[in-house]
Structure 1
Amino acid sequence: MFWDPLFDSISELTGAGADQCKLIAALIVSFPLASIYVVIPANRPNVAHWFSVITTGFFLWPLLGLGKGMLQLLAISMATYTIVASVRGPKMPWIAFFFVMGCMTITHVLRALGHVSVDRVEISGPQMVLVMKLSTFAWNVHDGRRKIDDLDESQKATRLTKLPNPLAFLGYCFFFPSVLVGPSFEYATYEKLVDKTIYHVAPPPGAPASTDKRKRRTPKGRRRVAYLHLSLGLVFLAFYAVMGERGSYERIVGPEWPTWSHLTHFGFVQFCGLCARTKYYAVWSLSEGACILTGIGFNGYGPHTGRTRWNRVRNIDIAGIEGAESFKQLFDSWNCRTNVWLRDCVYKRLVKPGKKPGATQSMATFITSAFWHGLAPGYYLAFVTAGMVQYVGRQLRRLVRPYFLPADDPAAAAKLPKWHSQPLAKKTYDIVGWFLVQVNLNYLVAPFLLLEFKPSIKAWHRMHWYTHVLIAVFLISMRAGLRKWLRSGLKPRREKKVTTQPIPELKLSPPTPDEARQPKGDVDGPDHDVEWVKYDLNTHALEEGEALDIDGGLMDEVLTNLETRPGTPHAKKNE
């Protein structure tokens, strides 16, 4: 096309591929297009649907040169729509799920056989987003055919009692701000956006009244938050353009590595991890910002300040990742919408009524996540190791963290050293936890980026296997008696806590709220506009339940059996 020389020049200037430059251009162009999309009247839904379909067609076909891929996505979408419309009964969503996952696997196989570079922009990325949307759509329609008493709260909110027309369905599938890199969301959310009912949420009682007397089409704050994400995306993009090649994991397996000192090795691994994350921060911030500008990010009001929240389709919490003091916080903050998809479309769907999830659900979730990402061995090495570190982190939180919390006895608590009104021991624990999370994260993601088996193993070997060594030392120590010793130290604390609690009196009237426990200050948003950046960067992404473990909890069961003796009371207690 006539713009190819322009992108070739940008590619030479930045060092990125021309197709990557086109991808970024599409994400940036989505912002002015989103400003047009948001003013489409609610009584013209077909205009909104066609707007997304045509825009996405332009992005994929003339701009990115993925015309065949566009037709492939269109065929998969309409085939899934036919399955949902024609098949009745509980097998329908599973048929649709295996169909879209099978198509996704074929794409990954063809990519592997063609030795397509991971840096090349091709149709597998948009197809991964579409797989989440299509399988979620099938389950939403299935929930609409079930008795409402059999559904949980999230299923009740997203169920579809009526099948949308094909054009509306395609508008959902090819929603232009999210089609390239996500995020995914339910059809009910898209429908509310198109008919503008997504904004029909009353501010909480007692919230400050808005001073803006103009009649607003959308709640206040949409542009501010959207362009904050645009600014962040561009900053991270600039950082990656300058430092990405210098901080590549490829250099760990390169010839220059042996000439560096051990301290340089350790520091460079941390630098590589930061550089790799900025690439994802950039594209996801841009995509989310464009989504917010369309209005789909609106998520009601903060219950205390009445401030608008725009995190409905949040896919990443940058502050939560960089400041994570535990692996749970880290993984809950990364690729949030994929976690929601795995939880709602795989993990929960395999649990029989009245039963608890177990090995079957964990294994199925892990396999789905791995196959969805691709067939490269590096994905599996990274996921298994991530499951291990998540298990270790959970055990540390359960058995070690209580030792660093203030004592229940007020006299003992008064003797603890203070640091900004927080016990120094707890602050030290948090700082050490943050350090361990970051250094182990930067280690385990190496295979995720190198992909191939030999380079991944070589990189870990040159890093001296430090995360795997820490995991092995932890498991051996726990089995050798450390777990028993830690539990014995916690038992007196728990008994003391139980005995010191007053016996509650039977009251028929609601208890008087304890003012000391009431939230104060910046709970769900700032009281002053100067704090809006902090607020918009720290609102939590997941509003309904916790995010799923990165491996579906699979390694929890494996490592528990390795660490403890199955069948003993101790092992049962650990479960």
Structure 2
Amino acid sequence: MFWDPLFVRGSELLGAPPDQLKLIFSLLISYPLGSLYVRLPPSKPYIAHLFSIIVSTFVVVFLLEMKTGMLHLLFSIAGTYIIAATVQGKNMPWIVFVFVMGHLLYNHIDRYIIGTSASAIEITGSQMVLAMKLTTFAWNVHDGKQKSEDLDASQLETRLTKLPDPLAFLGYCLFFPSILPGPSFDYATYDSLVHHTIYRVPPPGSSAEQAKAAKKRLPYGRKRVAYLHLTIGLIFLGIYASYGAKFAYARILTSDWYKWSIVQKLGFVQLAGFLARTKYYAVWSLSEGACILTGIGFNGYDPKTGRTLWNRVRNINIISIETAPSFKVLFDSWNCRTNVWLRDVVYKRLTKKGKKPGTKQSMATFVTSAFWHGVDPGYYLAFVLGGVLTSLGRQFRRFVRPYFLPTPETAPPTIAKRAYDLIGRIVVQLTLNYTACAFILLGLKDCLVAWNRMWWYTHVLVLLTMAFFHFGGRRSLRKGLERRGKLPIPSSEKSKIKKSPPPTPRFKISPPSPSITQDGNGLPPQPEDERDPSDLRWVKHALDNPPYQDSGEGMGNGFNSPDGGWVDDLVEGMETPNLEKMNPLSGKRD
């Protein structure tokens, strides 16, 4: 196209491939387009549908020149719609799942065989986001045909009792700010956006007239939160462009590695891991900001402060990732919308009502996540190692962390507890940056060579920790907790309390009830003034976790670990048979 020389020139100046510059350009133009999109009349939703279809077609077909790729997207979209419209019965969502995931896997295999670079912009990235949308849509249609009492709260809110027309469905699938990097979301959210019903959540403490007036205007804070994410995205983009190549994992495979000291090597691995993440931070932040400008990021109001929330489609929490005290917190904060998708379309759907999820559900979740990412060996090496680390971290939380908790637990954290948390954060980063090497290099030989040059330090740490738990460490820790009265509830007892997976937390924040919001004088507190230019608390508030990231342990046994939790059985089973049969709460011993 006539603009190609411009991107080639930009590539020469910035050192980035032209297709990556085109990707960034497509995200940047989504900002002015998002400001226009939010002003489209809700009485004519077809205009919003056409708007997204035209913009996405321009980006995919003309800007990125993925004409064949667009046909792949349309094939998955048309196939899903036809199946949802014609197939009756409970197997319809699974037919869509096999069709969509099979098509995605085919393209992953094709990309792997022809040797397409992992950094190249090609259609499987968009297809991965689309796969989440299509499989979620199929279950939403299925839920619309079920009895209300058979559905949980989130399923009731996202169910579709009527199949949308083809134009609306295509507009949903090709929603322009998320066509390339995501995030994904359900059709009900999209429909509420184009009809502007997404804004009909009254501010907490407002009168009936104030609530009515609020529904007729866009909530405050949309632009500044969107441009905050734009700024964050550009900062990380600049960091990656400046230092990404200098501190790439690939340098571990070169002769330069042997010129460095041990400290330099270890420091390089940490910098390489952080800089590899900055690419994702940049793209996902830019995408989220554009989504917020369209209005789809609106998530109601904070029940404590009354401030607007714009984290409905939050896909990443950078601060939580870089300061994570455990792998659970880390994976809860990374690619959040994919975690929600795996939970909603695989994990929960394979769990029969009234039954406890187990290995079958965990393994199916793991396999889906693995094939969704691709077929490169590095993904599987990283997922399995990450799963083992998550499971071991869970053992530390159950049997080591209680030793450092203050007594009573309402007391402020002690120096020992702060030291424990600091060590945990350091260990998480050290092991994360080692594990992420496989996720970036992908090739089996490259991964093994790189880990070997890193002295296999995380694998050694894992083996030593597993040996500690196996050869009496766990038993000693448990006895110590018994004496202190801090022994956690064992899995066997938890299963009696929690029989089935809880409903997925929804994103809408309802106003708190008067009994909760009343202050000491019995009056509802006044919401914080968001319009005060000197009040910068909104920055922290805008980056806080959305509700679905603060839902405790999540769905069952280690759901949020990259392995789906199946290695928990391995780690849990490393105790001697006699100790495994002991019920610490009853005091009986074999």
Is TM > 0.5 for Structure 1 vs Structure 2?
yes
Task: Using the aligned pairs only, state the percent identity.
Answer: 54
RMSD, aligned CA: 2.8
- The one-letter code of the counterpart of 1:564 is E
Q: SS of the counterpart of 1:310?
A: coil
Matching of residues 537-556 of structure 1 within 5 Å? 537-540=543-546, 542=548, 545=551, 546=554, 548-556=560-568
- The one-letter code of the counterpart of 1:463 is M
Find 2:416's aligned residue among 420, 425, 436.
425
Distance 1:495 1:365, change over 3 A: closer
Matching of residues 338-377 of structure 1 within 5 Å? 338-377=338-377
Please name the residue that 1:202 is paired with: 202
TM-score by length of 1: 0.90
Deviations along 1:230-275, one digit per CA (max 9) or x if unpaired, are: 0000010011000000110000111111121111110000000110
Matching of residues 217-232 of structure 1 within 5 Å? 217-232=217-232
Matching of residues 471-486 of structure 1 within 5 Å? 471-486=462-477
Please name the residue that 2:460 is paired with: 469
Q: Is the 8 A contact 2:104 2:128 kept in 1?
A: yes
CA distance in 2, matches of 1:27, 1:35: 13
Q: Is 1:564 paired with 2:555?
A: no
CA distance in 1, matches of 2:255, 2:537: 48
Please name the residue that 2:500 is paired with: none
Deviation at 1:573, TM superposition (A): 7.1
Q: Is the 8 A contact 1:408 1:497 kept in 2?
A: no
Q: Which runs of 5+ in 2 are unaligned?
A: 490-514, 586-590
Please name the residue that 2:180 is paired with: 180
Q: How many residues align?
A: 546
Q: Is the 8 A contact 1:26 1:59 kept in 2?
A: yes
Please name the residue that 2:542 is paired with: 536
Please name the residue that 1:435 is paired with: 426
Deviations along 1:60-100, one digit per CA (max 9) or x if unpaired, are: 01100001111211121011100001011110000000000
Deviations along 1:113-161, one digit per CA (max 9) or x if unpaired, are: 1110111101010000000000000001001111110111111111111
CA distance in 1, matches of 2:526, 2:19: 47
Q: Is 1:246 paired with 2:257?
A: no
Q: Is the 8 A contact 1:320 1:538 kept in 2?
A: no
Q: Is the 8 A contact 2:11 2:17 kept in 1?
A: yes
Q: Is the 8 A contact 2:325 2:424 kept in 1?
A: yes
Please name the residue that 1:44 is paired with: 44
CA distance in 2, matches of 1:67, 1:573: 63
Q: Is the 8 A contact 1:244 1:276 kept in 2?
A: yes
- The one-letter code of the counterpart of 1:456 is C
CA distance in 2, matches of 1:398, 1:438: 21
Deviations along 1:177-198, one digit per CA (max 9) or x if unpaired, are: 0010000000000000000000
Please name the residue that 1:460 is paired with: 451
Deviation at 1:468, TM superposition (A): 1.0
Q: Is 1:14 paired with 2:7?
A: no
Instruction: Name the stretch that deviates more: 536-545 or 165-174.
Output: 536-545
Distance 1:522 1:194, change over 3 A: closer
Distance 1:20 1:355, change over 3 A: same
Q: Is the 8 A contact 1:319 1:538 kept in 2?
A: no
- The one-letter code of the counterpart of 1:21 is L
CA distance in 2, matches of 1:292, 1:240: 24
Distance 1:534 1:288, change over 3 A: same
Q: Which runs of 5+ in 1 are unaligned?
A: 414-420, 499-509
- The one-letter code of the counterpart of 2:78 is M
Please name the residue that 1:101 is paired with: 101
Deviation at 1:210, TM superposition (A): 9.0
Deviation at 1:453, TM superposition (A): 0.2
- The one-letter code of the counterpart of 1:555 is V
Q: Is the 8 A contact 1:333 1:541 kept in 2?
A: no
Runs of 4+ in structure 1 off by over 6 angstroms are 213-216, 495-498, 520-523, 525-528, 571-574
CA distance in 2, matches of 1:28, 1:18: 15
- The one-letter code of the counterpart of 1:458 is V
CA distance in 2, matches of 1:452, 1:119: 13
Please name the residue that 1:416 is paired with: none
Q: SS of the counterpart of 2:548?
A: coil
CA distance in 2, matches of 1:387, 1:255: 32
Please name the residue that 1:504 is paired with: none
Deviation at 1:18, TM superposition (A): 0.5
CA distance in 1, matches of 2:432, 2:519: 40
- The one-letter code of the counterpart of 1:288 is E
CA distance in 2, matches of 1:22, 1:348: 38
Deviation at 1:565, TM superposition (A): 4.0
Matching of residues 148-163 of structure 1 within 5 Å? 148-163=148-163
Distance 1:493 1:235, change over 3 A: same
Deviations along 1:163-211, one digit per CA (max 9) or x if unpaired, are: 000000000000000010000000000000000000010122379x999
TM-score by length of 2: 0.88
Deviation at 1:45, TM superposition (A): 0.3
Deviation at 1:473, TM superposition (A): 0.8
Distance 1:320 1:497, change over 3 A: closer
Matching of residues 18-97 of structure 1 within 5 Å? 18-97=18-97
CA distance in 2, matches of 1:266, 1:363: 34
Deviation at 1:495, TM superposition (A): 7.0
Please name the residue that 1:192 is paired with: 192
Please name the residue that 1:417 is paired with: none
Q: Is the 8 A contact 1:30 1:177 kept in 2?
A: yes
- The one-letter code of the counterpart of 2:455 is H
CA distance in 1, matches of 2:547, 2:337: 9
Q: Is the 8 A contact 2:19 2:64 kept in 1?
A: yes
Q: Is the 8 A contact 1:314 1:541 kept in 2?
A: no
CA distance in 2, matches of 1:304, 1:21: 42
- The one-letter code of the counterpart of 1:373 is H
Deviation at 1:497, TM superposition (A): 12
- The one-letter code of the counterpart of 1:449 is I
Distance 1:566 1:162, change over 3 A: farther
Distance 1:393 1:476, change over 3 A: same
Distance 1:158 1:373, change over 3 A: same
